[in-house]
Chain A
Amino acid sequence: MEIGEILREKILRVQEYVLLSVEAMANLFRRPLYWGDICTQADIIGVGSLPIVILTGFFTGGVLALQSSSTLSEFGAKSITGQLVSLSMIRELGPVLTGLMVSGRNASGMASELGSMQVTEQIDAMRALGTDPIKKLVTPRLIATVVMLFFLTIVSDTVGTLGGGMVGTTMMNLDASQYFHTSYQALAYPDVLQGLIKPLFFGLIIATVGCYYGMSTKGGTRGVGHATTQAVVTSSVLIIAVDFIISRLMLGIFGG
């Protein structure tokens, strides 16, 4: 295949992705909204991801406290471990790690489920039965992912800070009151805002990328496998890239 042709195909796929995303978002304002499907997806994405998000958050907070307190103690600043843990968790690690975890679990799930439906003509059958598959399949996943990722991030931030506190007090001889006091005091509204805006974008990425790869699956079971892998890789890279862009923008708006 020529370079021009490859480029043309890539641009075409980006165009298809953008059209699907815009259509899925526009459906938020069109009836019917499939509330049953939204609740089912919220349960799968939100409740289903809770254990991995709690575990990831807890151990990330713990390892942050472990690593930072030993380094900070060299400068006699061990007391600000809580500040470092909470800022890192709430600004960056909470949203990004939760996004990556949910991406690995749900972008792949969406791509494989919709991909299987695509290759067995179930999506065509849905169209033939008079249902818009974007409205029925993509929009509920989009709403559920954005809403649930927002709350999962809050859970991750909280558990991470608690995990850091637990490790700090039990293993690094930090004072619990001091840890939580500095953790809380270090936080400013821009930090919290930054940490809560990110999951909204990450949720959008996970749902639209997962659904796009699922809906555009070709080539039987091998195609489903390929779509699943591509969905996780693309959404993970996009999450990290968008995290950088949002962080830069927020720093520009609110200052360092």
Chain B
Amino acid sequence: MAHSNLLPEPAPIPDANAVPVVEFSHVSIGFDGKQVLRDISFTARQGETRILLGPASCGKSVLLKLANGLMRPDSGKIYVFGEEVSALPQSDLFRLREKIGMVFQESALFDSLTVRENVAYRLREAHAEDATVEARVQEVLRFVELEHTLDKFPSQLSGGMRRRVAIARAIITHPELLLYDSPTGGLDPITSATIIDLIVKQRDVYGGTSLLVTHRLQDAYMLATHTFNRETNQMQRIPNSGLDFSTTFLVLNNTSVVFDGTLQELQHAEDPFLKEFLS
């Protein structure tokens, strides 16, 4: 990786006129007679990191699965890269997913495959050459600082290491859209910070658009207030209490979107639920 710009620099503000990478339009879905999401509308533009906050079981993970076409909404439309995911046939969905990486809540690594085989899975399916596969696997495992785990099985790794392998598996093809489903869920604070560090690094080094689900406010704040310093190879706070303008928030509560905006706007929101949620 060539790093010409060594100073931390917040990502540029996404172009408001560009076609959104992800667009939800009046999406609703329910299971077993229970409404999970109701009339959800939002967009994520090129280069934007959208953090989906909300209390547990408010449909955040369902929203990510809808964006990836793993579920279909009961009503409403979902567009990803301008294509209507909610109406695409399965064969076209598999083609579209080549541009999407997803990190699952519990990592969802293939437990009968080694770390190397897990990370290389996508390239193997695309019949990439052995040398290319090996080089890319080494590169992404170095990125997540797990190059020593190549021949281990997921069961031999800690929870945090499994998440890092899941991130490596998701980014191996440098997808244009990344979906993170509670990447720090169930992890201790130190390991969580390592994962957030990696997500910031991914955002600031590779770019692309991300949707990140979390119920941990501290992770969300860290993503909005930190940048990756390529010189020190570490995440650091944006100087002068600055914010990463490409990182914006969406708060869900009781099946609906209750907030859509920047961290500053979120901190000054008057909504009683938001005040209680942030406190």
**Chain A: residues with CB nearer than 8 A to chain B?**
116-117, 120-122, 124-132
Contacts and interface: CB of A to CB of B under 8 A. Distances in A.
Contacts of A132: 90, 94
A138 B122 CA distance: 19
9 contacts: A116-B111, A120-B106, A121-B104, A122-B109, A125-B108, A125-B109, A127-B70, A128-B97, A129-B169
Given A131-B125, A132-B90, A125 B110 contact: yes
Contact of A122 (B68, B102, B105, B108): B108
B100 interface: yes
Nearest to B102: A128
B103 to A, nearest CB: 9
B38 interface: no
Given A127-B70, A130-B125, A122 B100 contact: no
Interface in B58-101: 65, 68, 70, 90, 94-95, 97-98, 100
Contacts of A127: 68, 70, 94, 97
B121 interface: yes
Interface residues of B, number: 21
Of A121, A126, A128, the most chain B CB neighbours within 10 A belong to: A128
Contacts of A121: 104-106, 108
A95 to B, nearest CB: 32
A129 B111 contact: no
Given A131-B94, A132-B90, A124 B70 contact: yes
Contacts of A122: 108-111
A137 to B, nearest CB: 11
The A contact surface, by secondary structure, is helix
A124 B65 contact: yes
Most A Cβ at <10 Å: residue of B98, B105, B106 = B106
Enumerate the 5 nearest inter-chain pairs by beta-carbon distance, A residue then B residue, closest first.
Answer: A125-B108, A121-B108, A128-B102, A130-B97, A121-B104
Given A122-B111, A124-B104, A130-B95, 17 more contacts: A120-B108, A121-B104, A124-B108, A125-B108, A125-B110, A127-B68, A127-B70, A127-B94, A128-B70, A128-B102, A129-B125, A130-B94, A130-B122, A130-B125, A131-B94, A131-B121, A132-B94
B102 A120 contact: no
A99 B111 CA distance: 29
A129 B104 contact: no
Nearest to B94: A130
Interface of B: 65, 68, 70, 90, 94-95, 97-98, 100, 102, 104-106, 108-111, 121-122, 125, 169
Contacts of B125: 129-131
A129 B122 CA distance: 6
A127 B64 CA distance: 13
Contacts of B104: 121, 124-125, 128
Contacts of B95: 130
Contacts of B102: 125, 128
Given A120-B108, A124-B104, A130 B98 contact: yes
A7 to B, nearest CB: 17
A129 B70 contact: no
Nearest to B104: A121
B105 A129 contact: no
B86 to A, nearest CB: 15
A116 to B, nearest CB: 8
A139 to B, nearest CB: 14
B166 to A, nearest CB: 8
A128 B100 contact: yes
A111 to B, nearest CB: 16
Contacts of B109: 122, 125
Nearest to A119: B106
